[in-house]
Chain A
Amino acid sequence: MSLTNHQLLTTANAAYEITAVVRDAVTVSGVRQGLCVVFVPHTTAGLSISSFWDPKGLEDVHDDINRLVPTRIDFKHQFDTPQDAAGHVKSVLVGVSLTLIIADGAPLLGHSQGVFFNEFDGPRQRQFFVKCTDG
């Protein structure tokens, strides 16, 4: 079993690919068969699996999330900012953790699948964790 922490400085609201970081974390863990949990300890960010082939497709995802939850000024949560308030909703919808299967010492992903950190209230200094377990 292993738990690793990874820092990420976001520069805008967008999807940041972290597939390679997760692969390396699994490799370093030494786990050959098991599960890998990726976790974001934030309330205005989320994790997703999506296609990495066309960056415009990632923009489409964020564009439609923004259409679903536009940044607006009438959120009840006003302690922070409108973008922060919208980010809380987006984070809930997208989710803050992913569970991946580890097979033969690597995360099991389809050939188009990448792991993405979604920033909804950037730019921010962010982090995420990768936990690998045998089983």
Chain B
Amino acid sequence: MPASANALRDQVFATPRLLLDAFDEIERTARLILTTPEIYGTRRIVLVGSGDSFFAAKASEMALLSYSGLPIEVRPPLEAGRYHAMLSAGRDLSATLVLAISNSGSAARVAEAADLYRRRGAFVLALTKAPKSRLARLATRTLHLPALPLPPAPGFGPYVLATVTLLLIAIRIGEVRLAITMDEAQALRAKLKATLTGLGGVIESTDMPAREAAAMIAGRPLAEFVGAGPGMAVAEYGAAKVLEASGHHALARELEEWTHLNYFDAQPDQIVTILPIAADSVAQSRAVELLGYMHKLGRAVVVIGGGASADTARKQGQQVIAVDDAVPELWSPLLLSAPLALIAGYLADAAGSVYGRGGVGAWSDSADASTVQQGLLWEPGT
């Protein structure tokens, strides 16, 4: 990796090795954090997080659904705590496992949701690197995530770490519930570890194409990220990184919703549409249809991934950032998110943007993450 002043890019490049080094410890922790009776006492899993933690929850949602055989819900924390926790029946909450994710453990709304769920009878497992944090104190139990020594920048490593940990929990729950066999579970764990090695290769191969994509995005006012299923988590992650790193206007939209909403934008030539999609995605056929509409509208498109969408985009003369590693769609966020983080890093680097606007001027409220960490915790009835 060449030396760089691009801290987000540095973090992306540093992540695979650090996660590989920590993988066995994370696996053991995820294996033992819940007892067998606790797993069998679970009838529903709710994932709660903000920002990167929310995207990690979305990224792992379908794998949790597939492996555990349990109903899975992913909810943003304000909705989760003040509505879902308060309005759910007590008998449902007593059989609900809440996975509350905050790398710092300081996200106020996540801590609030954890507290409300626990007080109403749910089992709350906090996932955080800070075992003494507010979230950890309010949860039933804490899964202590390793603190990765990463270059300070908008998060890529913590997002991938949370996703990997959630996938390991999904495998574990499926194994204990006998929804998958021990041999299958072990094979999945080995494949997940190998995927982190593959992530290093994906980062190397997509680095320069990401730089080219960033240059194109910089020339248009809006970056629009579109995805489906696990790819929607990638789209949301991409929009968040672009906003956080560069401040460039960006949004994320679900693939089908795009036809209902973004399709009608009156200035399509001012938009770059970024479509992360796994080669084996079940949404490929619909994505190909939408690429036709986008092409007719004159939008610039970047397809990240492979399959029929990538083939179509090439024929249309659009940019394709190939990610052909043979990883199943359910795990594809682990790989597809990397070029998006690289794009965000290059976009910020080219514009000379200070991450998070530096927490100064009109953004001074966000200094020291105060906007997300210092809000008051809500008490029911107030």
Q: Kindly provide the distance from the CB of B238 to the nearest chain A CB, expressed in whole angstroms.
A: 38
Q: Assess the A125–B183 pair: CB atoms within 8 A.
A: yes
Bound complex: CA A121 to CA B178 (Å):
10
Q: Kindly provide the distance from the CB of A29 to the nearest chain B CB, expressed in whole angstroms.
A: 31
Q: Assess the B176–A81 pair: CB atoms within 8 A.
A: yes
Q: Kindly provide the distance from the CB of A84 to the nearest chain B CB, expressed in whole angstroms.
A: 6
Instruction: Specify which chain B residues have a CB less than 8 angstroms from the CB of A122 in the assembled complex.
Output: 181
Pick the interface stretch among A18-26, A55-63, A71-79, A102-110.
A71-79
Instruction: Specify which chain A residues have a CB less than 8 angstroms from the CB of B181 in the assembled complex.
Output: 122-124
Q: Kindly provide the distance from the CB of B381 to the nearest chain A CB, expressed in whole angstroms.
A: 38
Q: Assess the A84–B36 pair: CB atoms within 8 A.
A: no
Name B172's closest neighbour in chain A (CB-CB): A81
B35: CB under 8 A from chain A?
yes
Q: Please provide the chain A residues from 89 to 133 with a CB less than 8 Å away from any CB of chain B in the complex.
A: 121-125
Q: Assess the A78–B36 pair: CB atoms within 8 A.
A: yes
Name B38's closest neighbour in chain A (CB-CB): A73
Q: Assess the B31–A79 pair: CB atoms within 8 A.
A: yes
Instruction: Specify which chain A residues have a CB less than 8 angstroms from the CB of B175 in the assembled complex.
Output: 80-81
Bound complex: CA A34 to CA B150 (Å):
66
Known A123-B183, A124-B183, A125-B183; judge A75-B36 contact (CB<8 A).
yes
Q: Assess the B37–A81 pair: CB atoms within 8 A.
A: no
Known A73-B37, A123-B183, A125-B183; judge A79-B32 contact (CB<8 A).
yes
A70: CB under 8 A from chain B?
no
Interface digits, B156-184 against A, CB 8 Å rule (1 contact, 0 not)? 00000000000000000001101001110
Name B180's closest neighbour in chain A (CB-CB): A81
Name B174's closest neighbour in chain A (CB-CB): A81
Q: Assess the A74–B32 pair: CB atoms within 8 A.
A: no
Interface digits, B197-213 against A, CB 8 Å rule (1 contact, 0 not)? 00000000000000000
B293: CB under 8 A from chain A?
no
Q: Kindly provide the distance from the CB of A36 to the nearest chain B CB, expressed in whole angstroms.
A: 29
Q: Please provide the chain B residues from 1 to 51 with a CB less than 8 Å away from any CB of chain A in the complex.
A: 31-32, 35-37, 39-40
Name B37's closest neighbour in chain A (CB-CB): A73
Place the interface of chain B in its size category: 10 to 19
Instruction: Specify which chain B residues have a CB less than 8 angstroms from the CB of A73 in the assembled complex.
Output: 36-37, 39-40
Q: Assess the B182–A82 pair: CB atoms within 8 A.
A: no
Bound complex: CA A79 to CA B175 (Å):
11
Q: Assess the B183–A81 pair: CB atoms within 8 A.
A: no
Bound complex: CA A81 to CA B37 (Å):
11
Name A87's closest neighbour in chain B (CB-CB): B182
Bound complex: CA A76 to CA B82 (Å):
38
Known A73-B40, A125-B183; judge A82-B35 contact (CB<8 A).
no
A83: CB under 8 A from chain B?
yes
Name A121's closest neighbour in chain B (CB-CB): B182
Q: Kindly provide the distance from the CB of A43 to the nearest chain B CB, expressed in whole angstroms.
A: 12
Q: Assess the A80–B35 pair: CB atoms within 8 A.
A: no
Q: Assess the B183–A82 pair: CB atoms within 8 A.
A: no
Name B35's closest neighbour in chain A (CB-CB): A78
Q: Assess the B178–A83 pair: CB atoms within 8 A.
A: yes
Instruction: Specify which chain B residues have a CB less than 8 angstroms from the CB of A75 in the assembled complex.
Output: 36
Q: Assess the B182–A74 pair: CB atoms within 8 A.
A: no
Q: Kindly provide the distance from the CB of B168 to the nearest chain A CB, expressed in whole angstroms.
A: 14
Instruction: Specify which chain A residues have a CB less than 8 angstroms from the CB of B183 in the assembled complex.
Output: 123-125
Instruction: Specify which chain A residues have a CB less than 8 angstroms from the CB of B31 in the assembled complex.
Output: 79
Instruction: Specify which chain A residues have a CB less than 8 angstroms from the CB of B182 in the assembled complex.
Output: 80-81, 84, 121, 124
Q: Assess the B32–A82 pair: CB atoms within 8 A.
A: no
Instruction: Specify which chain B residues have a CB less than 8 angstroms from the CB of A82 in the assembled complex.
Output: 36, 40, 176, 178
Instruction: Specify which chain B residues have a CB less than 8 angstroms from the CB of A125 in the assembled complex.
Output: 183
Bound complex: CA A121 to CA B186 (Å):
14
Q: Please provide the chain A residues from 4 to 63 with a CB less than 8 Å away from any CB of chain B in the complex.
A: none
Bound complex: CA A113 to CA B181 (Å):
31
Name A122's closest neighbour in chain B (CB-CB): B181
Bound complex: CA A124 to CA B187 (Å):
12
Q: Assess the A81–B178 pair: CB atoms within 8 A.
A: yes
A sample of 6 more A-B contacts (CB under 8 A), given A74-B36, A125-B183, is: A73-B36, A75-B36, A78-B35, A79-B32, A80-B175, A82-B40
Q: Chain A: residues with CB nearer than 8 A to chain B?
A: 73-75, 78-84, 121-125
Jot down 12 A-B pairs with beta carbons below 8 A, ordered by A: A73-B37, A73-B40, A74-B37, A78-B35, A80-B182, A81-B176, A81-B178, A81-B182, A121-B182, A123-B181, A123-B183, A124-B182
* A-B complex: 3 closest residue pairs judged by Cβ atoms: A73-B36, A73-B40, A78-B36
